[in-house]
Every structure is written in structure tokens, then in C-alpha cells.
Structure 1
Amino acid sequence: MRGTFDSAEFHAKYVLNMTNPPEYLREYFASFYDSPDPCDLYCNYDQVIDKLQLDKLKEKLTLSRPVQSHRILTYVYLEMVIASILNVKASEQLFVTHMWLYMSWNNQFISWDPQKFCGIKHIVVRSDTLWKPDIIIEEMLEKDKIAPSPFLKVNSFGEVVQRIDQVVTGTCRMNVYKFPFDTQRCTISFKSLMHSDDEIRFVVNTNTTLVSKWSHHAMQSQHEWRFVKMTVTKKTNNFYFGSNQTVIVYTVFMQRRPIQHAVNFLLPIFFFLCMDLASYLIPDSGEQKISFRITVLLAVTVLQLILHEILPSSSDRVPLIGKHPDSLALVGRCFT
């Protein structure tokens, strides 16, 4: 029967007796040389897992909130950082962003004394081993295709930490009246799917300056938009079971970069305006004036079709950039 390999025994019997041990062995046991406590040679995470009985109590630890009494609240600390603004589809009123979500909560059934386990203060376990809060995003339309992290970090005092990296595609009601010099506000709202305030309470950092600073530092891509700031607020909804439910609302402020649209739309509109004014210099008796104005009318119609594909049809107000082409088209029809 084959025995198990004991790295500590191998180190004591062979490596220490070598005059010039190989480099790979010195690197492998470097942590042992620097260890202040000899017991570190024999400590591992499995001992902590065995003490917590995570393998035996897996079903019990995932069935319900990890509290000693049902009257005890579970406080969930939540922080969100915007890493990228991937796309903003104004015509469909969709907001696509890449975000990092940090959550932590206390599990009253999980704790150990680090001094009894060679100073091990935290372990990393599979995410299906422990209970997790059922957090959803109200605005989300498409399920994220990125696989969630399969691990949770558990600290010795019972804190459980989860980090989520996901792409969110959600709804965003947009006001494009000042297009392309508009600033949009899109919200990402977090809440529990089933738990009310009598069971779960959210704790967030509402410091707008600090929250915005985190996202500014983490920002990797902004597409055609410039991230301005992000605010955090709390609101209470009447839960459909009769209890109140707290909703954490992150509001993302972003400003459109107007250069591309200014070149593609504002300059052509100015050019059409000049052409429209120049048409009054053409004699009324000739057919050249009619042909010229028809050409301008067709160009304006093409511009309107392009704007229709970009701007949302459900907007409450007609964008300023769309009013001038309409005026040119109306005047052109009257004179032709």
C-alpha cells in the first residue's frame, strides 16, 4: 500500500542534509525557512474546514439565513464600482456596463481562533458551501453570460466576503433633447428577491465623492461616454408580502462625447442651411432653383433617417438637432 507524501518529513530528512540542494527545492521550502513557528509546517486549510465541519454541514449552512435566532437581522455590506461603460443604446434605451460588486455579511455559525491554527485568519471555500443573500438588479434585462466566481472568502470572526464581476444590460430612460451635448443618468438598483427589512438590512457607503473616486480609478473603457460621477441612495418599497424592503440605488452620471456627432450632424446641418439660403439667390424663373431645393430636401430626409436610428422614438421632447432638419424640409416643400 502506497503511503502519502509528507513534505515536512522530506524537508527534515533530506533537504537539510544536502550540502547544496537544488534551486527548485530551496524555492519550494523558502516559506518554511522564514516561518517563525515550526507548527506552520503541519498547518493547512483542511484543518480549519474540518473544525467548521463545512463538508458535513453543507446542506444546513445553505438552507437559511445564518443566524442563531430568526429575530436577528443579517446586515449585508454592499459596494459597487463601475469598471467600464461598454455601450449606451439611446434608440433602445439600454445601458451596458461592466461592474465589480463587493458584498460581505456575518455567518454566526462560522468562526475559529486563528491562534489555534497557526495564525490562519481566513480561508477560501466553494460558493455553494454557505448561504448567500439573494441580490437582484431591478433594471437588468439580460442575464450575465460571465460565470460567477465559484469561491467565497471566510474570515475567522465569521465574516463572509463575495466578489462579483459581471456585465449588466439594463434599462435607462434617456432625455436626448440636447443631443449630442446631453448628460444621461442611469440607475442600477439592488434589492433582495425574497427577504424584507425584517430579515436583511443593507449597509452602503453614501459618500458620493468617495464612491465616484473608486469608479474613476477602476474605469477601463468609456466608449463614447465620459463618466462624471456616481451617487448612492436608499429607498424603501412596500414589499408585495406586506413588509418594507430597502432598495440600494446607484445613479451613474455620464456625458456624451459630442465630437463625432458634431462632425456627422451639426456640420451637415450648417451646410444645408447655407445651401438653403443660397437658393434664394437663384432666379425664380429657372428650373435650377426647383432642382436645387429638391436636392437639399433629399439630403435633409437622409439626415432625418439617420437621426431616427440613433435617437429613441419614445422621447418626450423632440431633440433640438432634429427640429432644424424638419424646418428645412417644411420650407423646402412649400417652395417646391
Structure 2
Amino acid sequence: MSPSQRSIISGLLLMSVSLCCSKLSCKEGHSGPTHESMQAVFDREAFRPAVNLSNPTITNISFTLYAVLGVNEKTQILTTFLWLRLYWQHEFLVWDPDECDGVIKISLPVKKLWSPDIIVYEFVDDDVSQACPYVYVNHTGHIRWDRMLRLVSACNLKIFSFPFDMQNCTFTFGSYMHTIMDVRVSPALTFQEMSRNSKRYLEASGEWELVDILGETSILKFGVDEWDIITFWVVIKRRPVLYVVNLLIPSSFLMLIDILSFYLPPHSVDRASFKMTLILGYTVFLLIMNDLLPSTANGTPIIGIYFSVCLALMVISLLETVIITNVLHHNSMKYQEVPNWVRVVVLKHIANLICYRWPEEIKAPAEPQKDELDISNVDSGLWIIQPASQTPAQDPPRSGGAASLPELQQICQYLGDLRAHLTSKHKESELLDQWCHVGYVLDSLLFRIYLLLISCYALVIISMWCVWINQS
């Protein structure tokens, strides 16, 4: 060690001894220590205020969580506003209140004094909050520094249970440069007191509410150096009312309308049009509500899966309508008989399985007896038309009968064509009724399966959310 370095160290030690052995002086008629007596302390603002530098300076830390300003799930950043309070001991700022007109506390500019370099290790942005330029110092040298801190910190956000999610973020306070040999940190209040004070301010503040503040002190090792730190766990819970009203309830209404659309006549094309319009409306709803849903690369919230499944169920519902419409119209228009296996499987077993109640068939009036053409009595080219049920009348005169024969033949041809057309219509009506019965049974079956899927899905989602609510 050079002589110049020895002289500097000796001078510092002499100054420390002189400061520790002498208190700040006060002039008669003046309140508090004089500026001259504190100038020596101000000149040593760059040095840690300890008489024995081998003894660490103890810094007490407490904070009040005043507001949760924002949660960015995509960038995994939590923005909060804290009222931070630091306490430490300045061994050179000591005076006797009796000699200083009873003054026990004064305020001094923080830039004139040494202050511990306490930071939050999770800090990811500059502090843009308003700085407090003064500290309070009492006659024993105890300093209190209140700071307003806008804290932008990294936090591992888990949004799977959104909007009933609960976040646990970590705030780690410690010195940036001073190791455990120079600065020690400890909580100024108990963690329960910090939590109680914060809840008082966050009780009616914004989207988030404070659940609890926990913490512990520990030692951070990096190589051969050690730092004293305090780790706080801030547990916050989201208030889900906004998202339940704006997301879940409208989606549930649209799903309810989709279920009620099964009561529309399945043979009507308006049912398919209605379902397509409903799907379009649900898609627009998802696009509008997309800004309210959190997005992150770590996973997808269950509410996003819920919306996707709801949309898929609506598409399945439309597909069911398309199938039933095809059964009711396409097959009946081809005049195809219902296959025997369809009669057995659908109209017998499936109908009994789902307890399908057949609609009351309208009984057709008794078919009148058809007048058959009796053309047996023909003589000399004369055709006699009379009902088969009646007693044959006497033969009319044979004269002039040949003149009406072409007209009678044409009438018989017309009657035959009419009978064939009526028979074809009757057969078509029977086929249409058969396929309608098949379509109604299948529609009832698919409707019950659709209701079962939606009910199971709703029970699973509601149960999961109820568990999360109870856990919070």
C-alpha cells in the first residue's frame, strides 16, 4: 500500500471517528441541527454511513400494493403501482433533541445522503413514476424513504382457467451491487400486515383483487458472492363478472337458440337457412369478442376451447339438418321403396329405443266403390256402360249404337289414364309418408344425441369453473 493510500484511509477513519464521537451541533435560537454541522455528512454521501465498515447496514423494506395497472398475457408482464417504504440507519445523523429546541425529525434531500440500491429483480422496464426527493431523518439517525414505484415486472401468467384465473407473481427485493457483507435486508412489517394494508386499497380497484401477500428472506448465491434478498409472492385473482356477462351468457343464449331450432319442421328448408344464419352470427360474435380473450404462447384458455367446441356443435347441428333434409326429399323424389333393413333398424328398434311417439294418422274416408265398366252387353257394335253392382238394365234399341262407339272408347281411355295417375299419386304419397317416418325418427335420435353431448360438455365446463372458484 502506498503512502498516499494510507493517508486517505487514515483521513477517512479519523473523519468517521470524529463524526461518530460527536453529535450534530445546534445553535441557540435555531431549531434543529445547523447546516454547517451536516455539511460533513453531505460531503460523504458516496460512502456507506457506518462507523465500522465491517458491520452491514440493515435495510427494512415494506410496500403497499395500491393498484394493478395491467396484465399482458402475451408478453407475460404485470404492471403494478406500489407505495414502497425503506428504512435504514445513518450513524452520522445523530443529535440531541434537548439541545436542538426539541426537534426530533427533519427532512433532507435524498440526493445528499447515501441510500441503499434496492431494486426489484423482476423489473423489465424503466420506472416512470414520480420520484420523491426527500427523506425523513429522526434524531437517532433512523431514515425513512417513501417511494412511489410503477413496477413493470415479468410474471409467469397462467390463463388456462380464464376468466376464473388466479395469478401468483414474484417480487424479489435486494441490493444490486452490495453483497451480504455490506447490506442486509429484512421486512419492516409482517407479511400479513402488508397484505391487509394492500387489500384496503385494492378492495374496489379495477379488474383484479388481492388474495394474499406471502414472503420469505433468503440468500442469493452467485459464484463466491452472496446477496441478501426478500421474495414476495403476490397472489391476485381476476373478477370474472365482466367476462361472464359479455362472453359466456351471449354464447349460452346462441347455443340455446340452436337447440330450439330442432323444433322447426325438418322437412322445411327454412331450418337449414336458420342454422346457417345462426353460425354466421356466432362467428361474428367471436370476432368481436376476440379482443377480450387473452393470448399467450404457453397455452390456450379453456374459454377459447369452449367457444371452438360450441361452434363445432353448431356445425354438427347443421350437418344433421342436411342429412335429414336429404332423407325427406331426395329419396322420396326417386320413388324408392324404404329398404327392409331400414324398416327394421329405424322404424322398429330405434323408434322403440328413443320412445318415439307416432303421430296420429288421419284416417281416410271409406273409399267408395268404384264403378266398373260393364262392357259385356255389346251387340251390333253397341257398348252398354253401367255399374257392376246394379242389375243390368234392359238392352236399349240396337239402332244407332254404332255411331257413339268412338266417343265411348275415348272416354274409357281417359278414365284409364286418370286411374293410372291416381294410382301413381297414391303410391308416391305412401312412399313420402314412409320416408317422412324414417326422417322423423332419425331427427329425434340425432336431437337426443345432440342434447346429450351439449349437456355433458356443459357439466364438465361448469364443474371445472366451480372448482376453480372454490379454490380461490
2:29 counterpart (37, 42, 47): 42
Give the structure 2 partner of residue 30 of structure 1.
none
Q: 1:44 to 1:206 in 2, by over 3 A?
A: closer
TM-score scaled to structure 2, two decimals?
0.56
* 8 Å CA contact retained: 2:86, 2:146: yes
AA aligned to 1:42 is G
AA aligned to 1:295 is T
**Structure-2 separation of matches of 1:121 and 1:298:** 74
Unaligned runs of 5+ in 2: 1-25, 320-472
Give the drift of 1:152. 1.4
AA aligned to 1:49 is H
Give the drift of 1:87. 3.1
Q: Is residue 2:111 matched to residue 1:128?
A: yes
Q: Structure 1 or 2: larger helix share?
A: 2
1:298 counterpart (263, 280, 301): 280
Q: 1:137 to 1:307 in 2, by over 3 A?
A: farther
2:171 counterpart (188, 194, 199): 188
Q: 1:243 to 1:223 in 2, by over 3 A?
A: same
**Structure-1 separation of matches of 2:227 and 2:176:** 10
Q: Is residue 2:182 matched to residue 1:209?
A: no
Give the drift of 1:298. 3.0
Greater shift after overlay, 277-286 or 249-258?
A: 277-286
Q: Tell me, what secondary structure is at the counterpart of 1:186?
A: strand
AA aligned to 2:206 is H
Give the structure 2 partner of residue 328 of structure 1.
310
Give the structure 2 partner of residue 26 of structure 1.
none
* 8 Å CA contact retained: 1:48, 1:117: no
Identity %: 26
Residue deviations 1:178-236, cap 9 Å, x none? 22222222232212111121211111157333221222334475212222222222233
Any residues of structure 2 matched to 1:1-336 within 5 Å, and which? 42-45=29-32, 47-53=33-39, 56-60=40-44, 62-205=45-188, 207-219=190-202, 222-239=205-222, 242-282=224-264, 286-306=268-288, 308-314=290-296, 316-334=298-316, 335-336=318-319
Greater shift after overlay, 242-251 or 84-93?
A: 84-93
AA aligned to 1:277 is I
**Structure-1 separation of matches of 2:189 and 2:156:** 23
Aligned residues: 293
Greater shift after overlay, 165-174 or 122-131?
A: 165-174
Bigger relative CO (Cα 8 Å, ≥ 6 apart): 1
**Structure-2 separation of matches of 1:221 and 1:310:** 21
Q: 1:245 to 1:306 in 2, by over 3 A?
A: farther
Greater shift after overlay, 88-97 or 194-203?
A: 88-97
**Structure-1 separation of matches of 2:271 and 2:300:** 30
Greater shift after overlay, 222-231 or 139-148?
A: 139-148
Give the structure 2 partner of residue 23 of structure 1.
none
CA RMSD of aligned residues (A): 2.7
Q: Tell me, what secondary structure is at the counterpart of 2:158?
A: coil
* 8 Å CA contact retained: 2:56, 2:184: yes
TM-score scaled to structure 1, two decimals?
0.77
Give the structure 2 partner of residue 36 of structure 1.
none
**Structure-2 separation of matches of 1:310 and 1:242:** 48
Q: Tell me, what secondary structure is at the counterpart of 1:223?
A: coil
* 8 Å CA contact retained: 1:272, 1:296: yes
Give the drift of 1:94. 3.1
Give the structure 1 partner of residue 460 of structure 2.
none
